[in-house]
Amino acid sequence: MNDFLNIHYLKRGNARQQKVYDLLQKTQIMKKLRIYQPILVGTIPIGIDLESSDLDIICEVKNEIAFQKHLQAMFRSYPCFCQKKKANYVVATFNYKDTKIEIFGQNIPTIKQNGYRHMLIEHRLLTILGPTFKSNLKNLKKNGLKTEPAFIKLLNIDGDPYKELLLLDNLTNIELQIRFSHLIPS
């Protein structure tokens, strides 16, 4: 299993992951955010991204005002820089060449944030259910479905996709194999 806490796994990944690794090295984004325990999350780390997928980086933020100032100081010179403060998080977006980057900050340790937890369960499911499931998932995404709803649709689960995925995270790999055995190729 990849150590998603260290971006070096991207060097050994697919072409897009290697490109992202180079981008992160050139821009030093992770280094610039290191005091916020940044983690690259989303579809790119687990290889289910589309050409239009952005980079999602989550951060642990104790002081939102300081974080906003840090983001402005580090990234406001990038094209399309935009920053928003919501009730319990801060998000900044900008572009680097042909890649959109989103930095999300919340007062929750990054390894406990939903973005990271979703990515981990999605990675486990992809590993267990195999390449056909992954291909079907990417097809749903190409047809406009977001990642979590696409997973839930293929798994034939009703309810809020974001909450349902978190519930699956409580299951062991063996329990997931049993529950979704009908989706595992023989």
Residue 147: Cβ within 10 Å count: 23
Last residue of a domain, one of 74, 109, 144: 109
- 31-40 own/partner pairs: CB under 8 Å, 24+ apart: 32/74, 32/75, 33/57, 33/59, 33/74, 33/103, 36/60, 36/61, 36/67, 36/70, 36/105, 36/110, 37/109, 37/110, 38/103, 38/110, 39/4, 39/5, 39/110, 39/111, 39/116, 40/4, 40/7, 40/10
32 and 75 housed in the same domain: yes
Evaluate whether residue 174 is within a structural domain. yes
Residues of the chain with pLDDT under 70: 1-2
120 and 83 housed in the same domain: no
164 and 120 housed in the same domain: yes
11 and 75 housed in the same domain: yes
Spacing of C-alpha 93 from chain mean position: 15
pLDDT digits (tens, 9 = 90+) for 48-89: 999 889 999 999 999 999 999 999 999 999 999 999 999 899
Evaluate whether residue 2 is within a structural domain. no
36 and 82 housed in the same domain: yes
Q: How many domains does the chain have?
A: 2
Evaluate whether residue 87 is within a structural domain. yes
Structural domain including 127 reads 115-183
Q: Is this prediction's pTM over 0.85?
A: yes
93 and 137 housed in the same domain: no
Alpha-carbon gap, residue 179 to 168, rounded angstroms: 10
- Identify the pLDDT of residue 148: 96
Evaluate whether residue 1 is within a structural domain. no
59 and 125 housed in the same domain: no
Using alpha carbons only, what angle is made at residue 114 by residues 21 and 164, rounded to the nearest 5 degrees? Answer: 120
Alpha-carbon gap, residue 45 to 182, rounded angstroms: 26
- Identify the pLDDT of residue 17: 96
79 and 12 housed in the same domain: yes
15 and 104 housed in the same domain: yes
In sequence order, what are the residues at sequence separation of 6 or more whose Cβ sits closer than 8 angstroms to the Cβ of residue 28? none
- Identify the pLDDT of residue 1: 52
Evaluate whether residue 67 is within a structural domain. yes
Last residue of a domain, one of 109, 132, 153: 109
12 and 94 housed in the same domain: yes
By the 8 A CB rule, do 101 and 29 touch? yes
CATH of the domain at 43: 3.30.460.10
- Identify the pLDDT of residue 184: 84
